[in-house]
Amino acid sequence: MRELTFREALNEALDEELTRDPDVFLMGEEVGAYNGAYKVSRGLLDKHGPKRVIDSPISELGFVGLGVGAAMMGLRPVIEVMTWNFALLALDQIANTAAKMRYMSGGALACPITIRGPNGAAHSLAAQHSQWFEAQYAYYPGLKVIVPGTPADAKGLLKSAIRDPDPCIFMESETMYAWKGMVPDGEYTIPIGKADIKRVGKDCTIVAWGRALKIALDGAEMLASQGIDCEVVDLRTIRPLDEETLIQSVRKTGACVVLEEGWPYFNAGAQISDIVQRACFDILDSPVIRVTGADVPMPYAMPLEKLARANADSVVAGVKVALNVRS
Amino acid sequence: MAQRKYPLADKLDREALLKMYRQLVLIRRFEERCAQQYSLQKIAGFCHLYIGQEAVAVGVEAAMRPDDYLVTAYRDHGQILARGTPAGPVMAELFGKATGVAKGKGGSMHLYDIPRHMYGGWGIVGAQIPLALGMAYASKYREEDRVTVCLFGEAAVNQGAFHEALNMAALWKVPAVFICENNRYGMGTPIKVSSAVTEVYKRAAAYDIPGEYCDGMDTLDTYEVVHKAVERARAGEGPTLIEARTYRFRGHSMSDPAVYRTREEVEEERKNDPIPKLRSYLIAKKHAKEKELDTIHEEVEVEVEESIRFADESPWPDPSELYTDVYVDPIWPEKVHA
């Protein structure tokens, strides 16, 4: 095991897969000569050359479509979107083409593409650059949506996504790139669709994924000092969703808080709450509690932005409501 | 009227020319019978007929190698028949039957035959253009000498997808030919109402690639122009934009009575029908006698009739097919809905 940043872990995954499979190529804005807008692809152009690491024009619809078409022909494109905010321009190619080609062709076609980039808010980037999109992509049958929360998971899951025969949406986070974590040595992958219990506990299950995992773990630590022992389930993949691990945890603890950083309405947490309440209705003593960001476009001003975002304090408050504990 | 010259087509042998004639007649008759089957409610949903535009699909097919790739929009019956897919599985797809080319899951707008390198069949205007870019990019990446031919209507050139894809196709010199089937109406909107530049081939100048036009009502003229572009792409010289000037004799889809066009305009265009045009050529060049060509019509009549019988007698998809083909890994959808 070594300590790596999220960025380094992703870079290793890309490097290893580019080395392993000549059908893998990386394309996106600034991925080559600039070494990546967030330096995830640092050194890859030098090592693998311009055939494998390609700088694209700012044409999200066009180069995502290029990736979808190349994947349809059996290549394994990794398309970097500078942020998922910009991928809205490419949504037609993702939702209408990539997600549907296998079904519409009666199984004749497949689309082994990976589209990856940072999701969610960083700091003070205002409304157009501060949005969470995982639920939007998880809505479409045909896509897989992966949102890792640690460097080790990011590396193993990105390698799985690149090898996966179906279109994978892989979501990172600007603020996580510099975060560090222990990463196994050598070759490994992590299966898509498997949740991971990041903290074992008995009183309440906190469900999180992606960057929110750290918020959940921080909240759990604060609660531990108050004698409340939380279990943190890191979903890692939003679609397919590991319902089994989720339900088992809630059946053990008897309470559930779903944390997500995005907006409350119609977000992934709504689906997760639905699953938990139907599967665990008999043992829940309180409704599933959702902790989310505020239902507003992200404000620029720092104090307002802070108010708009979920944090460890809101997790603590949410768990106390779920457990009917007075603060 | 001066006789049109066909320097390349004149070199085609009799067999190739008669094949083209048969394809024209097959597409025409197939589409006429589709209209009838639609009225009988055997075919549902949107159904965009190719009647009038047959010369484009047939001329393009003749200009391609069988292992070149073809991709088009939702007006795709003609292209898949020109690629050589038997009429039966195509009609069965339109009927939504299990024996259809997409097992009844695609329908009229989503026809595929991957072994014959027909890659659909796409329902969003212009969306197949970036897809074609990726297909051609894959050929270049793999150092194959295959060319991707992408068809789209004239309304698609106002989509951002067209611009983005052509820019990158030119930038990276991918082996692609982009062919605009300009039938002059985007649904009910005439091109002069929708486009600042109505001569579509001129848009090639924006990407510094060759822009050509052909008579899309003339199979051999289409063949000539497309053939040059296909071989240019194969030689590694990059993409070409071709405007095939054509006309659909029917409405945009089966639900469109096409009241936005005058009867006189349609009658005038019908004089350019590609079938009699190729017939005259074959007779004039003594490739065939009238009677031989009549025989082709009779054979096609039987072939299309047989395709309807095949579609009619084929079973509906089994209910178990609902959750298949969502993912390559079949465990996932089945698990969720078990």
In the A/B pair of chains, how many CB contacts fall below 8 A?
148
- Domain assignment present for residue B18? The answer is yes
pLDDT score of B338: 47
- Domain assignment present for residue B1? The answer is no
User: Which class does domain A2-183 fall in?
Assistant: alpha beta
pLDDT tens-digit series, residues B54-93: 999 999 999 999 999 999 999 999 999 999 999 999 999 9
List the single best residue of B67, B164, B314, B332 to mutate versus A (max A Cβ within 10 A).
B164
**Annotated catalytic sites of A, by residue?**
60, 129
0.90 cut: is pTM over it?
yes
Continuous segment of H or E residues that includes residue A153: helix A151-163
Domain boundaries, chain A: 2-183, 196-322
- Domain assignment present for residue B31? The answer is yes
Residue B267: how many CB atoms within 10 A of its CB? 9
Who's near B287: CB < 8 A, 6+ residues apart? B14, B17, B18, B281
Q: Return the CATH number at B122.
A: 3.40.50.970
Chain A residue numbers touching B138 (CB-CB < 8 A):
69-70, 73-75
Chain B residue numbers touching A247 (CB-CB < 8 A):
none
pLDDT score of B254: 86
Chain B residue numbers touching A166 (CB-CB < 8 A):
327-329
pLDDT tens-digit series, residues B94-111: 999 999 999 999 999 999
- Domain assignment present for residue B4? The answer is no
Task: Tally the domains of chain B.
Answer: 1
Residue B1 has pLDDT above 50, yes or no: no
Residue B336 has pLDDT above 80, yes or no: no
Task: Confirm whether A2-183 and A196-322 share one CATH topology.
Answer: yes
pLDDT score of B4: 81
Side chain identity, residue A310:
A
- The domain made up of A196-322 has a fold known as Rossmann fold (3.40.50)
- Domain assignment present for residue B3? The answer is no
Say yes or no: A94 contacts chain B, CB-CB below 8 A: no
- Domain assignment present for residue B2? The answer is no
Residue B308 has pLDDT above 70, yes or no: yes
